[in-house]
Amino acid sequence: MYALDNVGRNTIAMVLAGGKGERLSPLTLRRAKPSVAFGGKYKIIDFVLSNLFNSGIKKVYILTQYRAFSLNKHIRESWGKWTGLGEFFVAISPETKSEREEWFKGTADAILQYLRFVETSDADYVAIFGGDHIYKMDITQMINYHRMNRADITIAALEVPKSEASRFGVFSVDDDSKVTGFTEKPENPETIPGRETCFASMGNYIFSTKKLIEVLQEGKKMHEDLDFGKHVIPMMLESGDRIFAYNFNDNVIPGMRTEERGYWKDVGTLDSYYEANMDLIHVSPQLNLYNYKWPILTNQGNLPPAKTVFDDDDRRGVNIDSYVCAGCITSGSIVRRSIMGPLCKVNSYSLVEDSILFENVTVGRHTKIKRAIIDKNVVIPDNSTIGYDREADLAMGYTITESGIVVVPRKDK
C-alpha cells in the first residue's frame, strides 16, 4: 500500500511548522498556518506528514513555534497516538504570544537549533520539508534521485510558466538539472534549457547528513538569521557543492490520476485557500482525497455519522454537491456547494451556499450564508444574513477578501 524503501529507513525528516501565515488572518490569529483546517476534517500539516508516512519515513521532528498549542495538540492526539512505538516525534516549542517575539530567526536556523537530533542519528539523509502546503508526493523518489546524482542537496522544484515565476525563488539549471544559480523573485527569470518554463523552489530539501551538519555549522558563523534560500543555497553554490533540482512533475504516487500530477497549492491567501477548498467539491477535483492507495491521514475522532433530518414541504434537510464531515446535522435546511467540518449544525429554514464551515459551527434558523468562511465554534444567530450585503458584513466586523469572500472569525480570546 505504501512506498516502502530502504531509503525511508535511512532518512529522518524535519518539518518546518512555525509559520504565522499572516495573509490567512483572521484564521491564523489563534493558530499557526499548518494548523488551519483544510477539506473539513484535515489540517494543512496532515498533507506533509501523510506524504512522509506513506513514503516509509517514520522518524519525523516537527518544529513548531507561533501559536503552537493547537498544532501540538493535534499532533499529540493523532499522529503521536497511532503511528506507534514513538516513531513520530514533535519538538515542543515555547508558545509565542508577542507578534514581534522571535525564536527561529530563519528556516535554516530552526534546523540548526535541533541539529543535535541529526548529529546523533544514524541517518544518511535528512528531508527538510515545509508544513504548510497542499500536495501529495512520494518522497522516496526524490531521495533516490538525490542518491543517483550523488548530490549534496536536492531541492524540490515546481515547473511554472515564465509569467508566474517572479513570485518564487527560481533556479538556473544545466541540461542535467544541476543548479547553477538561484535568484529570489527575479524580474526576468531564467527558463529551463529547451523549455519555456522555469524551476521554482518548493522549499523542500533532501540533504546528505554530513553536508547538512557541515554547512549549517559554517553558516551560523556568518548569519544569525540563517535561511536556506537567502544564505545556505548561495553558500553551497559558491563552494561548488553538488546541487540538483528535482522536478515535482516527475513524481508519481500509487493511484494518481493524470490531472493530479504536479498538484501543489500554497494556500497562502484567503482567496487561494477558499479556491483550493472549493475545488474539492467538484465532480472530479484535481486533488483526489478518495485515493486509498495514498491516503491523507488525520485524527478521525469518535464522532457519529453525518445526517439530514426533516422531509416536509416547508423544511427539508438537504446536502447538495457538498463535503460533509462526521457529526454534522443538516436540520430542515439546504447546504449547497459547501464544506462542513466536523460537528456542524445548520438549523431549519436556513440556506448555506458556496461556503466553508470549520469545526463545530452552528447556523441558526432562517439564516442565509453565501461565499463565506466561518471559523471554528462560531454560532450564527437566527435570522442572520452573511455574504449578501458588503456594508452590513463590514459593520459586523467580518473580513472581506479581494474576491468578496466573507470571513467570520472566532470571538473567544
The predicted-structure confidence for 233-250, as pLDDT tens digits, reads as follows 999 999 999 999 999 999
What pLDDT was estimated at residue 288? 94
311 and 270 within one domain:
no
Question: 400 and 313 in one domain?
Answer: yes
Is residue 216 domain-shared with residue 315, that is, in the same domain? no
pLDDT at position 225 is: 81
Q: Does any domain span residue 323?
A: yes
Q: What is the pLDDT of residues 348-393, one digit of tens each?
A: 999 999 999 999 999 999 999 999 999 999 999 999 999 999 999 9
CA 86 – CA 160 distance, rounded (Å) = 39
The pLDDT value given to residue 74: 81
Domain with 347, as residue range(s), is 307-408
Q: Is 169 annotated as ligand-binding? A: yes
Q: Are 256 and 327 in the same domain?
A: no
Instruction: State residue 301's pLDDT score.
Output: 78
Asked if residue 80 belongs to a known ligand binding site, the reply is: no
147 with 265, same domain: the answer is yes
- Residue at 104 is within a domain: yes
Does residue 175 lie within any of the structural domains? no
What is the CATH number for 92? 3.90.550.10
Query: Do 275 and 282 meet the contact criterion of CB atoms below 8 Å apart?
Result: no
| Residue 81 known to bind ligand | no
In a domain, residue 382? The reply is yes
- The CATH number assigned to the domain holding 322 equals 2.160.10.10
Q: At what angle do helices 45-54 and 69-77 cross, to 10 degrees?
A: 30
185 is in an annotated binding site: yes
Identify the segments of the chain with pLDDT beneath 70.
Answer: 1-8, 19, 66, 68, 80-106, 412-413
Say how far apart CA 45 and CA 50 lie, in whole Å: 9
Q: Domains in the chain: how many in total?
A: 2
